[in-house]
């Protein structure tokens, strides 16, 4: 298995470049019998679509997805689900300036050094546009998880640069143009406007939560659920940090504070974030990720060219000043893909096991 597939049993394979003909993916291992149509994938793709507000890239893409296989008479057949998303608005001329120089903080440099060649148009394979594949694959995973186990995977923007956004309600997320779980909009728009006029970019924090995860998913000691979640999250473009449960705050906690006590009604807290020993506890799975600021900015920066000579670079083109905004559906998708994979892996090995300990689900 080379680098563009992930998942052992729910296996997602991705291809495509920013300015090539299309992105596409293959989901292999989906259980048969799931009611599925392109509309299920489209709904999630529309959530991450560019151009949805003035705070994200103005590239115009319908991101219309076509299912090419694996679905017959409205149901999955158990065979691989191939899907395709054509690129439409690929203005290669915008990128002529960056073809010969490397954007600080961007993968331009490493791709060229690794492969000896690179498709510089729009970041090529390194473009965050690749995440359409993840979102489409995640949409299928989400649907199956919800129908089979009642599992829901939801995320929200928790920090926009230095602005911390309190969680108010899940209901706000789909209404809020920033995926914030808050009625707050003005302060965020002001922050974005200031950013755009300065020609700079900022980072973000996104939180993702899966509720309704049964106890027992995850394969210690290396195929742990938390380990696979960490890989999935750190593999999203621009992510530089991943926390589960109390995360880095665990360092300053005492054991008597961190260790979640149990009662017949369930756990009394959730510092573990829904996973102990690499196995889900039945509590909410809580994950938090840090996204770095967009590396394509208007401000001039020092760099080098392909010959290794000193140069300066300013990136115009159409870029999200904060890639973290559109990261919410992507992070949800990745978590959903990890969960379905482990649901299937657990059923394979432990399909005969009924969890012996009766316990409630609290909180």
- Residue 304 makes contact with its own copies by CB under 8 A: yes
Q: How far is the CB of 351 from its own copies (least distance, A)?
A: 5
Phi, psi (rounded to 5 degrees) for 348 = -60, -55
Q: Given the complex with its own copies, which of 166 and 251 has the nearer CB atom?
A: 251
- Residue 98 makes contact with its own copies by CB under 8 A: no
Q: How far is the CB of 53 from its own copies (least distance, A)?
A: 19
Structure tokens of 277?
């020993």
Residues in contact with 308: Cβ distance below 8 Å, sequence separation at least 6, in sequence order: none
- Residue 112 makes contact with its own copies by CB under 8 A: yes
- Residue 243 makes contact with its own copies by CB under 8 A: yes
Look at the alpha carbons of 127, 322, 131, 94 in this order and tell me if their dihedral is positive or negative.
Answer: negative
Query: Which residue among 77, 184, 212, 361 contacts its own copies (CB under 8 A)?
Result: 77
- Residue 147 makes contact with its own copies by CB under 8 A: no
In this chain, which stretch among 36-44, 47-55, 111-119, 179-187 interacts with its own copies, using CB under 8 A? 111-119
Phi, psi (rounded to 5 degrees) for 83 = -145, 160
Residues in contact with 309: Cβ distance below 8 Å, sequence separation at least 6, in sequence order: none
Query: Which residue among 59, 129, 205, 326 contacts its own copies (CB under 8 A)?
Result: 205
Structure tokens of 290?
């840090």
- Residue 91 makes contact with its own copies by CB under 8 A: no
Query: Which residue among 218, 327, 329, 336 contacts its own copies (CB under 8 A)?
Result: 218
The interface with its own copies within residues 157-176 (CB under 8 A) comprises 159, 161-162
Nearest to 10 by CA among 23, 26, 21: 26
Nearest to 94 by CA among 58, 130, 133, 50: 58
Query: Which residue among 45, 90, 98, 107 contacts its own copies (CB under 8 A)?
Result: 107
C-alpha separations of 97 from 18, 93, 122, 184, 259 in Å: 16, 8, 11, 38, 54
CA distance 177 to 179: 6
Q: How far is the CB of 158 from its own copies (least distance, A)?
A: 9
In this chain, which stretch among 45-53, 56-64, 181-189, 201-209 interacts with its own copies, using CB under 8 A? 201-209
Largest CA distance in the chain: 67
- Residue 270 makes contact with its own copies by CB under 8 A: no
């Amino acid at each position: 298995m080379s680098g563009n597939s992930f998942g052992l049993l729910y296996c997602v394979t991705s291809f495509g470049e920013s300015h090539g003909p299309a992105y596409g993916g293959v989901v292999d291992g989906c259980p048969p019998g799931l009611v599925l149509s392109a509309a299920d994938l489209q709904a999630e793709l529309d959530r991450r679509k560019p151009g949805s507000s003035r705070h994200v890239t103005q590239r115009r893409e319908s991101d219309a997805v076509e299912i090419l296989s694996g679905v017959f008479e409205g149901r999955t057949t158990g065979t691989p689900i191939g899907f395709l998303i054509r690129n439409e608005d690929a203005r290669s001329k915008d990128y002529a300036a960056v073809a010969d120089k490397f954007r600080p903080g961007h993968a331009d440099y490493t791709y060229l050094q690794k492969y000896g060649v690179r498709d510089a148009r729009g970041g090529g394979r390194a473009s965050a546009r690749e995440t359409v594949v993840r979102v489409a694959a995640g949409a299928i995973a989400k649907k199956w998880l919800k129908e089979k186990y009642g599992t829901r995977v939801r995320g929200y923007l928790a920090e926009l640069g230095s602005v911390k956004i309190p969680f108010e309600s899940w209901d706000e997320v789909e209404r809020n143009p920033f995926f914030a779980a808050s009625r707050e909009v003005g302060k965020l728009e002001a922050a974005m406007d200031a950013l755009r006029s300065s020609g700079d970019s900022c980072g973000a924090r996104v939180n993702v939560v899966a509720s309704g995860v049964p106890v027992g998913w995850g394969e210690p000691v290396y195929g742990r659920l938390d380990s696979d979640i960490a890989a999935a999250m750190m593999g999203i473009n621009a992510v530089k940090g991943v926390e589960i449960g109390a995360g880095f705050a665990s360092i300053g906690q005492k054991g008597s504070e961190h260790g979640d006590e149990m009662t017949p009604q369930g756990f009394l807290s959730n510092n573990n974030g829904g996973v102990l020993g690499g196995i889900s506890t039945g509590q909410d799975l809580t994950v938090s990720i840090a996204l770095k600021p967009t590396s394509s900015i208007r401000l001039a920066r020092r760099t080098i060219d392909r010959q290794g000579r000193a140069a300066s670079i300013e990136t115009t083109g159409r870029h999200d000043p904060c890639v973290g905004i559109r990261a919410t559906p992507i992070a949800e998708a990745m978590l959903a893909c990890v969960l379905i994979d482990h649901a299937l892996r657990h059923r394979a090995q432990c399909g005969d096991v009924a969890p012996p300990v009766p316990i409630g689900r609290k909180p």
